Amino acid sequence: MLIQLSTLKTRLGIEDADVKDDEFLTNTILSIGARFENETNRVFARAPAATYQFRADEMNLVVDRYPIEAVTSFELKITEALGWVAQTGVDYLISPSRALVEMAAPLGTSKQLGRVTFAGGYVLPGDTVDVGETALPQDLVNACQDQAVYQYQNRDRLGLSSVSGSQGGVSLPATVDLLPGVVQVIKRYERWRN
């Protein structure tokens, strides 16, 4: 989760012992995290052995989970029957931004698949950041928190477009999907595909 439940509850002024909205808040945090990943076309959570598949003739691999800490292995698949075959002696560089694996030569052809195994992504709040790892940037934490607070405070109005009663009706303004400040933050983390 991009923020911890306890952090959100503190921001909302909800006591830790008050658990009546915990399920809603947890689901809100999870849905916002999924939305951020969808909008940015990447995965934020660190994984020690993530894999990324690509056409074997590609030489610049824009992996979906970065910053990249280390590359462990490369594999090539020519047919389903043969499966993945380990490749040794592969020359590559990790770009200075730690978001790109730059191959010295392609693993194969456009009719074949390549797979790289690597450690990368951000350490999420609540987990320990070890040497060589990168914590989730604070602006992403804040954006997730701001969006969660907005959704919690407007939970009774989400999805409403009008209200009517015995005296007539009123149309409500369009609801904000993602807050403008949140959109600005997540745009900075957008992953560009090849």
pLDDT tens string 97-134: 999 999 999 999 999 999 999 999 999 999 999 999 99
Handedness of CA 42, 48, 1, 132 (dihedral sign): negative
Domain interval for residue 112: 47-120
Any domain includes 164: no
Any domain includes 147: yes
51 and 147: one domain? no
> b/e per residue, 1-31, with b = 16+ CB within 10 A?
bbbebebbbeeeebeeeeeebeeebeebbee
Average pLDDT for 54-76: 97
For residue 168, name the pLDDT band (cuts at 50, 70, 90): low
For residue 156, name the pLDDT band (cuts at 50, 70, 90): confident
114 and 78: one domain? yes
Total domains present in the chain: 2
High-pLDDT (> 90) share of the chain, %: 86
56 and 24: one domain? no
pLDDT of residue 100: 95
76 and 104: one domain? yes
pLDDT of residue 165: 64
Any domain includes 162: no
Tell me which residue of 109, 104, 120, 143 sits closest to 191, measured CA to CA. 120
pLDDT of residue 65: 96
16 and 52: one domain? no
Any domain includes 81: yes
With residue 119 as reference, give the H or E element that holds it: strand 113-120
Any domain includes 179: yes
115 and 128: one domain? no
52 and 116: one domain? yes
87 and 145: one domain? no
Any domain includes 193: no
Does residue 170 carry a pLDDT above 70? no
User: What are the distances in angstroms from CA 165 to CA 57, 102, 162?
Assistant: 64, 63, 10
